[in-house]
Structure 1
Amino acid sequence: MVSEFIFNNINIDPMRLQIIFSLKSNKNFLPANYQHHISSWIYKCISAGDKEFAGFLHQKGYGERNKHFKFFTFGPLDIRPYHFHKTRGVFELYGNQLSLQVSFFVPEAAELFIKGINVVNEAYFGDKINGIQLGVDELRIVPEPLMLNTMTYKLVSPCCISRPAQEGEKHSQYLSPQDREFVPRLIDNLKIKYGVAQNVLIHIEEEHPDFEPKVRVLTSQPKSKLITIKTLTKHEISVRGWLFECQITAPLDVQSFIWNVGLGEKGSMGFGMVDVKP
């Protein structure tokens, strides 16, 4: 069991955690599309802390009508050193340790995840063919950086922004940061999420009902990443996001919100986590 994290006397706030894993078997092939497995594991840990809350968060989340948010995200697994087998779509891991950052804006979700991880204490990331069995060795709090009204962020997991299908299109379209609709839709997504957070009174110290963030994409050639979710199942879908750097001007509470929730859509599937550029 991972050593008890001493949170009993700490006021649980929105927080980012770094989880240190170690391999527990000699199987060391990880599917490239592992995000869904991490998301499922996060819900499993929360469920170990409170099954009813986990069900609410997974099935519904916060919001109303078609605007529901889970208010957590996670980054990519740090699996170095490794070799990527492109033809097989798997990473071959050469080391024994991995790490993962998970960020929660809802204090209750963070607290239940911490409680649950001490119960679950292990993880399997993979499908029926390839996967890795892990044990949880350590949890660390990642301190929130000093927030300013203007911050420069680097996407550590792809930022996903979509628009509805138009005439002649069968599906909604994932937009590139170079698309003229990308930034306005990114801003709308941020404002809607922040508005929902205010309405449900989730750790919002100050209200900014009319804030208008300014977003500037700094990367001239953003990197596209196509991630397949629920691979090898009838529910398999592919989602495209982009990695880039951007500058955002917004109130301090909103900057903290971005740090804990990420940018764009599908945060709970591992999209949109940011880090701060010095």
Structure 2
Amino acid sequence: MRIEVLLKPREKAVFLPFNYQYQITSAIYETIAKSSPDFAKKLHDEGFGERRFKFFTFSQILAKRKKITSEGFWVIGEFSLKISSPLYEFLLHLLNGLFKDHKFKIGREEFTVKGAYIRENPEIKPGQIFVCLSPIVVSTIKEGYATPYYIRYTEEPEFFSEKIRQNLLRKFETYYGRLPADDRLIFFFDEEYLKKNKGTKLIHYRDQKILGYLAPFTVEGSSELIAFGYDTGFGEKNSMGFGCVEVK
């Protein structure tokens, strides 16, 4: 399930940096803490399972009007943000926090919460086509690299697909305490789209440089896994603002 938050700047327009993901992650925890400081702290510090999954993801800023500059962009008027999670407690505290004072702060900028709407999950089936609301990221450990190597789909599509599957299986098992009855999954980006468009995006997240993909894709295989990916995010680093998708 997901919540669509409608935000209004205090002025007619507000300037934001290109790399705002960390500020939004922080804002989400701060908002949850308004409802339950204990839940916010536990989610942030511990998460779930050995890998400390947070089980939430969020979209990029979805603005009808914006103006790009060399250092960032102006958001003109109201905009929205989609936040997705399978955790009922997360969504409950997020909603409570949003309506506590109707404020949501991204970095130094404070916005008024004009509305927060629960969006039920659409029917999702094998062969579903999705669009990315935030970049999809998968990585591996590679000899000669001191940091994780972000897999290039155009170079290793099968490996990229398998890493998506393995990541979803780990998250699914941690959340449900079991594996899905069907663990098959194969992932395809729209290669025609990638040929015509850049398709990649480099995000600076604090001291990390993270390479992700923003392109339509199709997923075949387990309906359970695909639906879980819709809720919690496809790929890695979901709570940092990666892997949020929407049905095309």
TM-score of the aligned structures, taking structure 2 as reference length: 0.91
Aligned positions, number: 242
Tell me which residue corresponds to 1:229: 205
Distance 1:216 1:26, change over 3 A: closer
| Structure 1: unaligned runs, 5 residues or longer | 1-14, 202-206, 231-235
CA RMSD of aligned residues (A): 1.8
| Greater fraction helix | 2
Match of 1:239 among 185, 203, 210: 210
Distance 1:237 1:214, change over 3 A: closer
Tell me which residue corresponds to 1:125: 106
Query: CA contact under 8 A between 1:25 and 1:132: conserved in structure 2?
Result: no
Query: CA contact under 8 A between 1:25 and 1:133: conserved in structure 2?
Result: no
% identical aligned pairs: 26
Tell me which residue corresponds to 2:223: 252
- 1:151 matches 2:128: yes
Query: CA contact under 8 A between 2:161 and 2:186: conserved in structure 1?
Result: no
Tell me which residue corresponds to 2:185: 213
Query: Aligned ranges for residues 12-23 of structure 1 at < 5 Å?
Result: 15-23=1-9
Tell me which residue corresponds to 2:147: 171
The one-character-per-residue Cα deviations of 1:211-241 (angstroms, maximum 9, x if unpaired) are 12122232342611111113xxxxx222111
TM-superposed deviation, 1:138: 0.4
Distance (Å, rounded) in 1 between the aligned partners of 2:181 and 2:176: 9
Q: Counterpart of 1:68 in 2: which secondary structure?
A: coil
TM-score of the aligned structures, taking structure 1 as reference length: 0.81
Amino acid at match of 1:185: K
TM-superposed deviation, 1:251: 3.0
Tell me which residue corresponds to 2:40: 54
Tell me which residue corresponds to 1:197: 175
Distance (Å, rounded) in 2 between the aligned partners of 1:60 and 1:191: 20
Structure ID, larger Rg: 1
Distance 1:174 1:120, change over 3 A: farther
TM-superposed deviation, 1:25: 3.5
- 1:105 matches 2:86: yes
| Structure 2: unaligned runs, 5 residues or longer | none
Query: CA contact under 8 A between 2:13 and 2:74: conserved in structure 1?
Result: no
- 1:28 matches 2:5: no
Tell me which residue corresponds to 2:165: 187
Query: CA contact under 8 A between 1:157 and 1:272: conserved in structure 2?
Result: yes
Match of 2:139 among 162, 166, 171: 162
- 1:90 matches 2:85: no
TM-superposed deviation, 1:120: 4.2
Distance (Å, rounded) in 2 between the aligned partners of 1:194 and 1:83: 39
The one-character-per-residue Cα deviations of 1:44-101 (angstroms, maximum 9, x if unpaired) are 111111111111111121112xx22111000011223111111xx21123x2211111
Distance 1:85 1:63, change over 3 A: same
Distance (Å, rounded) in 2 between the aligned partners of 1:163 and 1:57: 25
Query: CA contact under 8 A between 2:31 and 2:104: conserved in structure 1?
Result: no
Query: CA contact under 8 A between 1:23 and 1:97: conserved in structure 2?
Result: yes
Tell me which residue corresponds to 1:6: none
